[in-house]
Amino acid sequence: MRYITEFTRRRRRLPHWEEPGATYFVRFRLLHPVVDLTRPDVAPLIIEGLLFPDGKRYWLYDYTVMPDHGHGILKPIVRDGATESLGDIMGSMKKWTARRINRLPGRRGPLWQDETYSHIIRDPAEYARWANYILENPHVAGLVDEPTKWPWWGRGSGPL
């Protein structure tokens, strides 16, 4: 596991900025549209993968699962001035969910894109914009008339 003790910048295909104590908006996507993530046998696995480490590795705030991607706002827990790398956190969530989803009948092979889009949330107003984006995303996509009725949206236990 990698730990972050100071502001860090790295780049693969996407830029990745990390800082201890930062809160992040994340988007994780399917590699190919091989499964609908909102299927009733799939979405709960993704939500479980997000909620299980909540309060242990990170604080989870808002999340939603869409047909081909998911969103979340999370804050890795700081211990002794360091946080676990966001890449490690998201990588283990993707690995855990991929294993379980691939156990479903007719499913095998790679599931997630390797990289996760992340953005450091800098202030309460920006947090509110990202939280609203997560809530409204299923409505804007035409999947539901009332955003709070989307069954695959929720909040973790992150302290506000």
Average pLDDT value for residue range 96-117: 92
Domains of the chain: 3-155 (3.30.70.1290)
- Residues sharing a CB contact under 8 Å with residue 155, sequence separation 6 or more, in sequence order: 60, 61, 62, 63
Average pLDDT value for residue range 78-104: 94
- pLDDT per residue as tens digits for the range 66-90: 999 999 999 999 999 899 999 999 9
Give the CA count within 13 Å in the CB-facing half-sphere of 20: 12
- pLDDT per residue as tens digits for the range 147-160: 999 999 999 998 86
Range in 15-19, 35-39, 126-130, 149-153 the model is least confident about? 15-19
- The predicted pLDDT at position 92 comes to 96
51 by DSSP, 3-state: which? helix
Residue-wise burial string across 113-151, b where 16 or more C-beta atoms lie within 10 A, e elsewhere:
beebbbbebeeeeebeebbeebbebbbeeeebeebeebe
Nearest Cα to 62, choosing from 50, 48, 44, 45?
50
34 band by pLDDT with thresholds 50, 70 and 90: confident
Q: How many other C-beta atoms are found inside a 10 Å radius of the C-beta of residue 103?
A: 10
How far apart, in Å, are the Cα atoms of 66 and each of 4, 33, 35, 99, 138? 30, 12, 11, 19, 7
40 band by pLDDT with thresholds 50, 70 and 90: very high
